[in-house]
Amino acid sequence: MGAGGVFFFYWVHLKTWVLRTLQKKESVCMRTKKLRLVSALLALAMLFVMMPVGAFAEDKTTEGVTTITPEAVEKAGNGGYFIRESGVYDLEGGTYKGGFIFISEEATNVTINLQGNITVLKTASDGNGKPGAFILVRNRSLTTINGNEYTVEAGGNGHPVEAGEDFNLIVSDWGGTITLNGGTYKAPAYTRPVLGQERGGTLSLHGTTVAATGTKDSGRCIRNDESTLEICEGTVLNNGPAGDHDAVTRGTGRMNGGTICSKNSAAIRAD
């Protein structure tokens, strides 16, 4: 029985009780007036209970799916847009001008669906005052990002990211696990690789394209510090027009299909 049905059940019994009480103690005139007042109040309360939850919610949540907008991430700023609960999240397309998305250890299983092409112009600063990652997964959280054939790019659209101001698009840290299904991820990769992993993270790529776009002293697609990388069928890693850095560095890697393009350096270097 839903909330409306339960409320209706109690409403009928309460109305009957009120009627019997008034019949014993009040005159016919007063009884009629009070009964009308009680009925009106109960009807109003019943209408309130049966209204959809979304009529009062401030965030954009529909049928269990929360939508993350560029405005919400930018408003969070250096504090980060926190995902603390497991569930499904739609990441809106558009231009992200600041802030970052942090998937915390409380959110043990998160799915993010891209809903359009994304341009990231700026992220929040890390502890050293340098630009941090756009999406950070930490402390054994399991995150799946479905690219849906969309592109996430740092800069672009006439807004280049300069050397020294570049940032990672996605980082897993302290055991965080990320699975990328489809999608294209592009960044200059001057000092920061497009994707990064540290301290026991795991990154699994399925039909995903990762590309460095920098034209000079650039090229690292993935840095895999003390972590595990799995490259699966349909994945393409391209260290870009400069190709001055190794496409993949460090850690443990498994390659089950896929292509790695490296212009002037190694495709994979395990340091």
Of the candidates 113, 168, 116, the one whose C-alpha atom is nearest the C-alpha of residue 137 is 168
Confidence band, pLDDT 50/70/90 cuts, at residue 57: very low
pLDDT at residue 56 greater than cutoff 70: no
DSSP state of 211: E
C-alpha dihedral, 44 to 50 to 55 to 60, nearest 10°: 160
How would you class 207 by CB atoms within 10 Å of its CB: exposed for 0-12, middle for 13-18, buried for 19 or more?
middle
Q: What does pTM read for this prediction? A: 0.75
pLDDT digits (tens, 9 = 90+) for 179-220: 999 999 999 999 899 999 888 889 999 999 999 998 888 889
β-pairing verdict for 209-212 and 65-68: unpaired
Task: Report how far apart, in Å, the C-alpha atoms of 201 and of each of 34, 131, 204, 222, 224 are.
Answer: 67, 20, 10, 12, 8
DSSP state of 85: S
Confidence band, pLDDT 50/70/90 cuts, at residue 33: low
Range 41-46 contact pairs with CB under 8 angstroms and sequence separation of 24 or more: 42/11, 42/14, 42/15, 45/7, 46/4, 46/7, 46/8, 46/11
What span, in angstroms and rounded, lies between the C-alpha atoms of 270 and 249?
Answer: 6
Instruction: Give me the pLDDT at residue 6, please.
Output: 46
pLDDT at residue 58 greater than cutoff 50: no
Enumerate residues 6+ apart whose C-beta is below 8 A from 132.
100, 123, 124, 125, 126, 167, 168
In this prediction, residues 7-29 reach a mean pLDDT of 53
The per-residue DSSP string of 232-253 comes to ETT-EEE-TTT--S-SEESSEE
What span, in angstroms and rounded, lies between the C-alpha atoms of 240 and 219?
Answer: 6
Instruction: Give me the pLDDT at residue 62, please.
Output: 63
β-pairing verdict for 135-138 and 236-238: unpaired
What span, in angstroms and rounded, lies between the C-alpha atoms of 222 and 29?
Answer: 82
Angle (CA) 263 248 172, round 5°: 145
Element at 5 (helix H, strand E): helix 3-25
How would you class 114 by CB atoms within 10 Å of its CB: exposed for 0-12, middle for 13-18, buried for 19 or more?
buried
Instruction: Give me the pLDDT at residue 270, please.
Output: 73
Instruction: Give me the pLDDT at residue 45, please.
Output: 53
pLDDT at residue 250 greater than cutoff 70: yes
Instruction: Give me the pLDDT at residue 269, please.
Output: 85
Confidence band, pLDDT 50/70/90 cuts, at residue 132: confident
pLDDT at residue 75 greater than cutoff 70: yes
pLDDT at residue 52 greater than cutoff 50: no
